[in-house]
Structure 1
Amino acid sequence: MLRKVAVLAVIASSLALAKPNVVVLATGGTIAGSGVSSTQYEGYQAAVTGVDKLLQAVPELKNIANLSGEQVAQVASQDISTDIWLKLAKRVNSLLKQDNVDGVVITHGTNTMEETAYFLNLVVKSKKPVVMVGAMRPGTAISADGPMNLYDAVLTAGSKEAVGKGVMIVLNDRIIAARDVQKTDSITIDTFKAPIFGYLGQIVDGKVVFFKNPLNKHTYESEFDISTITKLPRVDINYGYAHDSGTVIDALVASGAKGIVHAGAGTASMSEFVLPSVEKATKKGVAIVRTPRTSLGMINHNMEVADDKYGTIAGGTLSTPKARVLLMLGLTKSNNPKYLQELFFKY
């Protein structure tokens, strides 16, 4: 009998070793939210449930990974700060250096998930998988999407096929590269899409299936190092519209902005009302990037606006919020427009 127990213990130990070791870092959001009724999808309280209860709510997780959890923050994602970004990124880098960690999952609110994901995609220094996950409905809802999303995220983070693919977002059975993902609807559960470049892969019947690799440089290929950075340069956003003005740009420069992303109409145009303020700002060393207010479309250098003349930078295919992230990191190294323009071609 004792021998049989010993054999079973060895088998159980071998099975545990065969499973990947995944750490779940929780930051709050709807996936940790709670409503007053099972039919409440809006007006609920986000960032209520702690990481331990999140994991306990999906007991099937123990079948696919050896899990541990940490609470890094507990906020709705509109309240995510650059300080939290830095704290989170440094913790991810620290964990992925450990031999007994195969991947990291980060639970996060969906409002700013694509920005956090892209930031991590530029500063994580490892080929190991980093997967962000959230939910569009709180855990108390009848058809809460969080539990399945979390299961799929852990499955992806523990997958050998996910190694080297950068930071990914997993929701609604889709695997999307951090650079390509966009939240396209404020309510529906299929909101996260990759409208220009398409999905990296999909979760099919409990299996991780990849279709392609990311195209742009990321994670272990990145030139950005935040290990000694305690504060990121301030970058703000200006919005273009019919008969706009340079008032906001002037105010942002006066208040200390080091960079501005201008979400312009059409192909990231700048009106005759805005250009004088833009030119004054760039002459003061403030970096200004042009993106389309549609969030989709390719913006080439000197397209629509004479970037060389005004000292502005074309945003390529990055959305406005992601252009802000890249500009922040670029400004930790230089405010030279030529250097910054190269970053938008590479990343």
Structure 2
Amino acid sequence: MRILVTGGCGFIGSALVLHLVQDLGHEVLTLDALTYAANPISLQPLDGDGRHRFVQADICDPARVHALYADFRPQAVMHLAAESHVDRSITDPGAFVRTNVVGTQVMLDGARSFWDGLPEADRKAFRFLHVSTDEVYGSLSPDAFFTEESRYDPRSPYSASKAASDHLARAWHETYGLPVLVTNCSNNYGPRHFPEKLIPLMILNALEGKKLPVYGDGLNERDWIHVEDHARGLVAVLMTGRIGETYLLGGRAVRNNLAVVKALCAAFDRLRPEHAPHEKLISFVTDRPGHDRRYAIDPSKAEREVDWAPTKVFEEALEETVRWYLDTESWWRPIREGRYTGERLGLAAKSA
């Protein structure tokens, strides 16, 4: 298939593009604006591979987006491009509205215009997969889980902008008949994760002997899914999901933030015992505004309907992730010392 992937140089996007091209043999056009969280180095394994093409462009640029649809003529779109850092949305909500809401509208309009002109057989085969987050549902009570029927209750500018984009995607299906699918995922972890999020931040701080700053009491709970499991799930939904439906993709690995940090410390104690115990680096910092207490996904619908399930065991895959960062300094060092300083990255752990 020819698949257009937006945000393909980001953390989840790069894992998806690598899976689509290297594992499945699809032809992929990666569209990415290369903002701060994107890293084209993540797609270096595809250099010279004729099945992959990269275009730097803004999804908010209608002329460019429509031209790319006409030129590449995708059989499917996987829309991942988004501003996703909650703390940044608190200080600059306009950027999140622009990319996540306006950008999604531009991508949907481009898809509809292109899809309208396709032969009937190609129209029936076309798919637009909109990728979103569990944060749109707000905060859960203890022991509860999100399902596809959960009520939307976003609490941050980031989650509100993603909620709006979800509604747009569904509206384009209901109003225009565009063959849309929507996924909402839990927190991702794994290789090539931008060092502003909880797990990579803790890994790099531990590596450098810096404090491991945790928001509040550290008991905010998140469901964790390995990025490679997520990429497989996205493809499964694209290929076999029912048009107009939503699928929640989670790792069945609910942990509170403090437990995650302690697991990382235990991994470091095994891998770098000369600096043990690493738990002595843990510190607690003032909680951020609107910090949801619990997210957890019930992925039963996806497991039942698209023959997908998470395969990674969290603590084992977490240690594999630590090993990747220890072995791949060439990926993270320019980010850590270039566009972002250790001081800025070390302010607090981004848990969402």
Q: TM-score range by the shorter chain?
A: under 0.3
Q: What's the TM-score once normalised by structure 2's chain length?
A: 0.28
Structure number with greater Rg is 1
Greater relative contact order (Cα < 8 A, sep 6+): 2
More helix per residue: 1 or 2?
A: 2
